[in-house]
C-alpha cells in the first residue's frame, strides 16, 4: 500500500517537476543574449554544436547510470549541474565561458532525458496502468508546453528590461526544481546490478534490444529528426523575427503562442492518433514540417504562421512517439534506450545547427530555411520507408527470447 502511494506520488510530483524544468525563461532569448554579448551567428552555432557534442558523449552513459543506480539520483544530479550552468551563464563574458556553461547544461539535460520519462512509465507499470501512459504523458506534455509558453513570455518581457533579470529568475526556478526532485521515490526493476562492468553490460544489452526491435530504432530516428527540425526553427526564428523588426516582447508572444499550440496538441494527441492512426500521423508530421520550412523560405509575411505549424507537429510527435517507443522496450533498459533518442537528436543538431548559422550569415535566413527543408526531405523519406518495412506492432518471438 505504501509503495502504491509512492508510485502515485511520483506521477503527481512529475507534473510539478515537468512544469518547473520547462519554465526556462531564457529559452527564447539565449540566442539574442549571446548576440548581445558579442557572439556572431557562427559562434552561437558552434556553442550549440558543442552542447550537442557533449550530449552525444554523455547521453548513453547517463541513461545506463539511471537504469543501474536509479532515476531519482540522476534527476537530482542533473538539477545540480543545471544550477551551475545557470550561474556560469550569468557570469560569463567570453566564448569559452559560454561554452563551459553549455557543457554543464548538456550534461544536466542528459541526466534528465529518459530518466524523467522512464520514472513516469515505470511508476504506471508498477500500478498496472501502462495503458494510461499516453494520456498522462500527453497531460504532462501539456503542462510542459504551457510552462514553456509562460517562460518565453516572461523571458521576452524581462529581456526588454535587462537580460540579467531573466537569467536570475531562471536560476531561482532551477533551485526550486532541485528541491522538488527529492520527493520522488525510486521504482525498482529487475536490473539491480551494480558491478564494475554493469555500465558496459547495460549499453551492450540495450544495443541488442534495438537490433531486435528495429521499429523502435527507426521511431527514435524519426523523433530525433523532427525534434531537431523544430528546435532549429524555434531558436533561429528568434533572430529571424528580430531582423523583421519584432520587439523582444513580440518575439516572446509568438513563442508563447507556439507553446500554447504545442500544449493543446500534446494533450489531445491520443484522440488525433485514434482518428488518423500512426501511419497517417507520421506522414502528416513529415509533410507539415517540410511545408513549414518551405513557407519560411518563400512567404516572409506568413512566417509566424509557418513557425506555429512546427509547434503543432512537435506537440503531436512528442506524445505519440513517446508512447509507441516506451511500450516496446523492457523497463530495465528503458532509460538507456530512451537516451538513444536524445543521442540521435544531438547527432542531427551537431550537423545542422552550426551549418544553419554559417549559411544564414552568408545568404540570410529565408534561403537557409529552404536549403534545410531540402536536406530533410530524403532523410524523412528514408526513415518512413524503414518504418513501413518494420511495421510489426506485436512483440515477436525473437523479442520474447531476448527479454528472457
Residue 392 is predicted with a pLDDT of 42
pLDDT of residue 81: 93
pLDDT in tens, 15-26: 888 888 888 888
CB 318 within 8 A of CB 265: no
25 close to 162: Cβ distance less than 8 angstroms: no
Residue-by-residue pLDDT tens, the chain, 404 positions: 477 777 778 888 888 888 888 888 887 678 788 888 888 877 887 887 788 788 777 766 776 677 677 778 888 988 999 999 999 999 888 899 999 999 999 888 878 776 777 777 778 777 777 667 767 777 777 788 788 778 877 887 887 788 888 899 989 999 999 998 888 887 765 544 444 445 555 556 666 666 666 777 787 888 888 888 877 777 778 778 877 878 777 877 887 788 788 777 777 776 776 676 767 777 878 888 888 888 888 787 888 888 888 888 777 777 777 777 776 766 666 666 666 777 777 777 777 777 777 788 778 787 888 887 787 888 888 877 777 766 544 344 444 444 44
- Residue 402 buriedness (CB in 10 A; 0-12 / 13-18 / 19+): middle
**pLDDT score at 87:** 93
Distance of CA 168 to the CA centre of its chain: 23
Is the model's pTM score more than 0.75? no
Cβ neighbours of residue 1 under 8 Å, at least 6 residues apart? none
pLDDT at 88: 92
Q: For residues 181 and 211, what is the distance between their CA atoms, to the nearest angstrom?
A: 34
Q: What is the rounded radius of gyration, in angstroms, for the C-alpha atoms of the chain?
A: 20
- Domains, the chain, in order of start with CATH, read 2-183+196-403 (1.20.1250.20)
What does the alpha-carbon distance between residue 117 and residue 113 come to, in Å, rounded to a whole number?
7
Amino acid at each position: 500500500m505504501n509503495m502504491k502511494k509512492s508510485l502515485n506520488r511520483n506521477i503527481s510530483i512529475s507534473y510539478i517537476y515537468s512544469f518547473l524544468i520547462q519554465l526556462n525563461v531564457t529559452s527564447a532569448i539565449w540566442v539574442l543574449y549571446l548576440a548581445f554579448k558579442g557572439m556572431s551567428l557562427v559562434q552561437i552555432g558552434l556553442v550549440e554544436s558543442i552542447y550537442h557534442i557533449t550530449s552525444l558523449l554523455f547521453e548513453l552513459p547517463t541513461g545506463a547510470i539511471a537504469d543501474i543506480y536509479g532515476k531519482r539520483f540522476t534527476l537530482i544530479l542533473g538539477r545540480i549541474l543545471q544550477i551551475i550552468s545557470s550561474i556560469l551563464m550569468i557570469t560569463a563574458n567570453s566564448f569559452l565561458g559560454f561554452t563551459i556553461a553549455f557543457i554543464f547544461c548538456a550534461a544536466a539535460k542528459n541526466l534528465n532525458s529518459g530518466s524523467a520519462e522512464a520514472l513516469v512509465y515505470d511508476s504506471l507499470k508498477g500500478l498496472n496502468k501502462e495503458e494510461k501512459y499516453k494520456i498522462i504523458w500527453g497531460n504532462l506534455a501539456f503542462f510542459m508546453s504551457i510552462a514553456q509558453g509562460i517562460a518565453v513570455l516572461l523571458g521576452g518581457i524581462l529581456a526588454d528590461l535587462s537580460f540579467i533579470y531573466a537569467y536570475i529568475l531562471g536560476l531561482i526556478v532551477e533551485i526550486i526544481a532541485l528541491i522538488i526532485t527529492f520527493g520522488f521515490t525510486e521504482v525498482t526493476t529487475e536490473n539491480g546490478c551494480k558491478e564494475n562492468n554493469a555500465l558496459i553490460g547495460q549499453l551492450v544489452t540495450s544495443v541488442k534490444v534495438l537490433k531486435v526491435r528495429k521499429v523502435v530504432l527507426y521511431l527514435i530516428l524519426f523523433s530525433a529528426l523532427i525534434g531537431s527540425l523544430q528546435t532549429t526553427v524555434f531558436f533561429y526564428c528568434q533572430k529571424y523575427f528580430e531582423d523583421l523588426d519584432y520587439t523582444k516582447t513580440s518575439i516572446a508572444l509568438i513563442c508563447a503562442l507556439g507553446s500554447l499550440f504545442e500544449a493543446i496538441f500534446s494533450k489531445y494527441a491520443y484522440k488525433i492518433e485514434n482518428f488518423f492512426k500512426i501511419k497517417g500521423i507520421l506522414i502528416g508530421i513529415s509533410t507539415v514540417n517540410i511545408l513549414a520550412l518551405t513557407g519560411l523560405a518563400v512567404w516572409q509575411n506568413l512566417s509566424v504562421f509557418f513557425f506555429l505549424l512546427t509547434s503543432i507537429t512537435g506537440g503531436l510527435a512528442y506524445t505519440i512517439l513517446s508512447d509507441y517507443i516506451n511500450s516496446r522496450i523492457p523497463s530495465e533498459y528503458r532509460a538507456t534506450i530512451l537516451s538513444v533518442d536524445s543521442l540521435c537528436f544531438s547527432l542531427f543538431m551537431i550537423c545542422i545547427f552550426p551549418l544553419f548559422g554559417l549559411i544564414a550569415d552568408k545568404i540570410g535566413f529565408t534561403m537557409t530555411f529552404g536549403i534545410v527543408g531540402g536536406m530533410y526531405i530524403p532523410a524523412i523519406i528514408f526513415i518512413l520507408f524503414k518504418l513501413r518495412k518494420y511495421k510489426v506492432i506485436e512483440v515477436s518471438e525473437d523479442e520474447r527470447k531476448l527479454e528472457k
